A = this chain, B = another copy of it.
Amino acid sequence: MKQRSALDMYANGTAWWETSISDIKKNEIIIRGYPIEELIGNISYTQMLYLLLCGEILSEKKAKLLESVLVAGADHGPRAPSIAAARMAATCGISFNSCVATGINVLGDVHGGAVEKAMHLFYETASLLDTHPEKELSSIVKEKFVLFQREGKKIPGFGHQLHDDDPRVRRLYGLAQRLIEEGEIKGRYLAIAEAYRTQLERAKGKKITMNIDGVAAAIQCELSIPAEAAKGIFALSRGMGIVAHAFEELQNGVLIKGPCPNRDDLVRYSGPAKRHLEK
């Protein structure tokens, strides 16, 4: 990614809005080369998303695996800030899509962002394996782990606030294994993820589970999705839950829902005691 100003690019002959995604003309809509009418009814939501994002049509089996990831992340209830923000928005008198935007706006580096970080780590680990064929996966993983520890960083993709045996992870892992057995995906990134899990378990001396971010990251690496695309994909996965929760709140017709009821133990002022302006 070069860093140039839009004006410089334009001065060099690029159109102001240059895109390789779609070509829109009168009565013709081309997506990555395909006429839209051939895509509608023939490819799934997930294949369309991959085509738009990555340029090619994913095989049906791979698309089903990616679809499983989208379904798995769709909702985690109103305690998730994204869901709560969208529901609160729905009680404040803005349009439905703006409620959805409010929820998606908060799916940042921290809330859902671990997928991207884990993908970077897994891709980097694979690349180290390629450039150091003499090394074993477990030793590369150990080196990375030591590096992360030294920098005070957490290995992304493991552990969860609430779950220690997340039903989504078990299921996604199983679906991915089936595709490995069928030869549809290689399993390289799932093995890398598993190696990190083992390393963490050994280092901490306790059971460590992959979380939904970790398994989603490994699967998306198997499908050659760029790490930088992860937040956009998650926006459309959790987007489903955001849409549904905002809609439920809109239908309830409740006005101005704040984050919590008026109870003293939930909100506390810790600033200076009452004082007055100097005259």
Contacts and interface: CB of A to CB of B under 8 A. Distances in A.
A226 B243 CA distance: 13
A19 B242 CA distance: 13
A62 interface: no
A224 interface: no
Interface residues of A, number: 144
A231 B96 contact: yes
Contact of A269 (B19, B68, B80): B19
What copy number does this chain have within its complex?
Answer: 4
A105 interface: yes
A57 B275 CA distance: 12
A231 B29 CA distance: 22
B247 A228 contact: yes
B108 A105 contact: no
Most buried by B among A75, A82, A175: A75
A22 to B, nearest CB: 5
A127 interface: no
A229 interface: yes
B110 A48 contact: no
Interface residue SS majority, chain A:
mixed
A149 interface: no
Interface stretch (A87-95, A137-145, A182-190): A87-95
Interface stretch (A118-126, A128-136, A195-203, A258-266): A258-266
Interface string A247-268: 1101111111111111001111
Interface of A: 1-7, 9-10, 14-24, 26-46, 48-49, 52-53, 55, 57, 64, 67-68, 70-72, 74-82, 84-85, 87-89, 91-98, 100-102, 104-113, 161-168, 170-172, 175, 226, 228-229, 231-236, 239-241, 243-248, 250-262, 265-277
25 contacts: A1-B252, A6-B91, A10-B261, A17-B78, A24-B79, A27-B165, A28-B167, A29-B76, A34-B275, A34-B276, A35-B167, A36-B167, A36-B168, A79-B258, A93-B108, A93-B110, A93-B111, A95-B231, A96-B231, A102-B105, A161-B256, A228-B250, A229-B243, A232-B246, A259-B259
